[in-house]
Structure 1
Amino acid sequence: MEDNQKTLNKLRDEMTAVNGDIINHLNHFFSISNKIGIIKDKMGLPHFDPVRESEMLNDILMKTRGPMPAEDMQRVFMEIFKVSVKEMGAGTRQKLKVSRHQGKGSKVINVGGVVIGNGIPVLIGGPCAVEYPEQVMKTATYLKNMGIRLLRGGAFKPRTSPYNFQGLGEEGLKILKEVATSLDMRVVTEVMSSEDIPLIEKYADILQVGTRNMFNYSLLKQIGKSRKPVLLKRGFMATIEEFILAAEYIYNGGNEEIILCERGIRTFETQTRNTLDISAIPILKKETSLPVIVDISHSLGRKDIVLPIAHAALAAGADGLVFESHFNPAAAWSDAQQQLDMKETEELIRYLEKYFKF
């Protein structure tokens, strides 16, 4: 028994020594892979190369002589490769201009006296689409009386069906601007194409890039040349990393006034229009220095759970909320089911005021 214990202790000592060797070799491996990542960044190549990984796994299979089964050895190395690619990406993110470098403070954006990102949440409300002057004026007046100073509304509407209402175009922009000016509010509206930027800049205080255009890199580059703040919505099929890189396109153009908007992503769940990624809020705040707001209308597509979701978003660290509201949603020309009426809007604001300072 005593001999067995001595042998066991000796084997454990050998294993500890081997662990040290593995750690040293892994650190050497990651040192090399990080250098490869830097070179790939300079060459504009993706970090993950499936062909190269397949070659390395085949080489490992040929060299494995046991006792560890070759398939298990491959799985171990596949995990090592996966982590190494992840580390390459982490290194790249730290070099991004939008990243939260050590000592870099949070970005604060002032939109005509409305401050976003200073620790006090902001609310952005308004109709899904601009329909006619009275609709915008009635809705905006009520919102202003509730303390909201950022007015959203679509003049150009990206719709899934070409037969749905597409927006009033410049006429809608004029209505938005006239109403906002009369009420001392600021306009947030969507830009759908690069050609429309000069036109929309005449009327809008914040240019919105919608979820369908997050991957429209030519538009992002042009938006980057604008001096207007940009509200960038996460693509409904985009990862957080892709979202951050989309913001980098705008930043590289010279526009540092970027507001990130989490608006839900597409999953297999059908109870809501999209699945709101609450975890994205603290991750984006950790990874970037940009303010983050949450769209509680497009993420949900329903009104009965707006209050707890809005509460959760702000509790997770969001710098504000954007929601759709209409003085008469039943008669709305688009997204009637998710637009709050005036009573529901007041209920939302009064509820949030119990927990947050606006």
Structure 2
Amino acid sequence: MIIIFKENAPEKELGALREEIKSLGLEIHESVGEKTRLWGLVGDTSRVDMDWLSARQIVDEVKRVQEPYKKANRKFHPKDTVVDIHGKKIGGGHFQVIAGPCSIESEEQMNSVAKSVAKSGAGFLRGGAFKPRTSPYAFQGLHNEGLKLLLEAKKACGLPVVTELMSVQHIDLFQNVDVIQIGARNMQNFELLKEVGKLKTPVLLKRGLANTLEELLMSAEYIMAGGNENVILCERGIRTFETSTRNTLDLSAIPMLKSKTHLPVIVDPSHACGIRWMVEPMALAAVAAGADGLMIEVHNDPEKALCDGPQSLTPEMFEQLMGKVQSMVQFMKNLSA
């Protein structure tokens, strides 16, 4: 339920209404604009009489929200959320690129890629220490040692780091990680979502391979309901009948999500396509569709990569892509000005 108040509603009357609503066991999510103030009521609002609220002199309009997600809902929070990670912002007109190898393999590899992507203009460094793999025999990351190498690379390049958390048991190891990634396979690992919801660390939540946008937003709701509202959504392709690409990149998800939620939306064209030469056109298409950022896989020697080499760009390719991405971002800003 949403309550929209009249302009300049007295604080005394707002305070009295706030206490009455809280006494019903409901939580209030407040959003204040230049001329509007609204409250989103979270909880069992079936007990709330709309006429009781509408009769208040300070109330302009009362609406019931049909969507099951509340905190992630744009109706509750009309302004775009801007997630600020050590001064680097995502959302609300702030565009960022996250880049780095799929998996952390060695100190030399990690430092080399870190320095190159930072030089090319990436805002964040990614690298997988714990890797979910379809085959139990595939390389699954260096685990604790990989995290150490990632944090050392962070010192070398100065970029905040993004890495995937796969298990509640590993949370203590992620204290110095700047953005925790919840991968596609764990999008509906609700116990894990609840735990990262208790943290202050921003969370990058990837859409599952066969999940709807509402299911993605409900997973974000789990995190936000726990108190962590710094959530970034990531479209990384979904499984369809098409076999010519690894997944099918759902570009329509970008504007649709932007209409449904205030949370930032980024795109991972590397995992979506699984083909190196397709990363660039899909990255540029994502920018044109309104994405708030990109996640790009970069490896110093893709042919010898232990994970996802065919979709990884070389540092040289990434540098060329960044020039085009920056131009496209500026073009889109000029277009909407």
Q: How many Å separate the matches in 2 of 1:183 and 1:118? A: 26
Q: Deviations over 1:267-319 (max 9, x none)?
A: 00011110011111011111011000000100010011222211111111100
Q: Is the 8 A contact 1:187 1:206 kept in 2?
A: yes
- Tell me, what secondary structure is at the counterpart of 1:124? strand
Q: How many Å separate the matches in 2 of 1:233 and 1:348? A: 23
The yes-or-no answer on 1:134 pairing with 2:114 is no
What one-letter code is carried by the residue in structure 2 that aligns with 1:303?
R
The yes-or-no answer on 1:212 pairing with 2:193 is no
Q: How many Å separate the matches in 2 of 1:220 and 1:92? A: 23
* Alignment match, 1:328: 301
* Alignment match, 1:118: 92
* Structure-2 change in CA distance of 1:238 and 1:330 (3 Å): same
Structure with the greater alpha carbon radius of gyration:
1
Q: How many residues align?
A: 271
* Structure-2 change in CA distance of 1:304 and 1:194 (3 Å): same
The yes-or-no answer on 1:160 pairing with 2:134 is yes
The yes-or-no answer on 1:247 pairing with 2:247 is no
Q: How many Å separate the matches in 1 of 2:94 and 2:182? A: 24
The yes-or-no answer on 1:174 pairing with 2:152 is no
Q: How many Å separate the matches in 2 of 1:277 and 1:331? A: 30
* Structure-2 change in CA distance of 1:242 and 1:178 (3 Å): same
* Structure-2 change in CA distance of 1:91 and 1:203 (3 Å): same
Structure 2, unmatched stretches of 5+, are 1-42, 46-63
Give the Å deviation of 1:336.
Answer: 0.7
Give the Å deviation of 1:101.
Answer: 1.5
Q: Is the 8 A contact 2:287 2:325 kept in 1?
A: no
Moved more, 254-263 or 93-102: 93-102
Pairing partner for 1:231 from 197, 201, 204: 204
Give the Å deviation of 1:94.
Answer: 7.0
Q: How many Å separate the matches in 2 of 1:350 and 1:182? A: 23
Q: Is the 8 A contact 1:129 1:153 kept in 2?
A: yes
Runs of 4+ in 1 over 6 A off after TM superposition: none
Q: Deviations over 1:60-87 (max 9, x none)?
A: xxxxxxxxxxxxxxxxxxxxxxxxxxxx
Give the Å deviation of 1:354.
Answer: 2.6
What one-letter code is carried by the residue in structure 2 that aligns with 1:240?
L
User: Greater helix share, 1 or 2?
Assistant: 1
Tell me the TM-score normalized by structure 2: 0.77
* Structure-2 change in CA distance of 1:149 and 1:355 (3 Å): closer
Q: Is the 8 A contact 1:149 1:184 kept in 2?
A: no
Q: How many Å separate the matches in 1 of 2:309 and 2:156? A: 26
| Percent identity of paired positions between Structure 1 and Structure 2 | 49
Matched ranges for 1:255-266 at <5 A = 255-266=228-239
Q: Is the 8 A contact 2:115 2:156 kept in 1?
A: no
Pairing partner for 2:81 from 101, 107, 117: 107
* Alignment match, 1:27: none
What one-letter code is carried by the residue in structure 1 that aligns with 2:145?
E
Give the Å deviation of 1:95.
Answer: 5.7
What one-letter code is carried by the residue in structure 2 that aligns with 1:119?
G
Q: Is the 8 A contact 1:174 1:203 kept in 2?
A: no
* Alignment match, 1:351: 324
User: Greater strand share, 1 or 2?
Assistant: 2
Give the Å deviation of 1:103.
Answer: 6.1
**What is the aligned-residue RMSD (CA, Å)?**
1.8
Give the Å deviation of 1:104.
Answer: 2.2
Give the Å deviation of 1:184.
Answer: 1.0
Q: Is the 8 A contact 1:94 1:100 kept in 2?
A: no
Q: How many Å separate the matches in 2 of 1:225 and 1:123? A: 26
Q: Deviations over 1:88-147 (max 9, x none)?
A: xx9432761110026621100111111111313210000000000000011110111111
Give the Å deviation of 1:181.
Answer: 1.7
* Alignment match, 2:280: 307
Q: Is the 8 A contact 1:294 1:321 kept in 2?
A: yes
Q: How many Å separate the matches in 2 of 1:288 and 1:241? A: 10
Give the Å deviation of 1:342.
Answer: 1.1
What one-letter code is carried by the residue in structure 1 that aligns with 2:264?
P
- Tell me, what secondary structure is at the counterpart of 1:293? strand
What one-letter code is carried by the residue in structure 2 that aligns with 1:224?
G
Q: How many Å separate the matches in 1 of 2:176 and 2:304? A: 26
Pairing partner for 2:260 from 278, 284, 287: 287
Give the Å deviation of 1:154.
Answer: 0.3
- Tell me, what secondary structure is at the counterpart of 1:134? helix
Q: Deviations over 1:191-240 (max 9, x none)?
A: 0011111211x231000000000011111011100110000000001001
* Alignment match, 1:319: 292
Q: How many Å separate the matches in 1 of 2:194 and 2:77? A: 28
Q: How many Å separate the matches in 1 of 2:294 and 2:221? A: 22
Give the Å deviation of 1:175.
Answer: 0.5
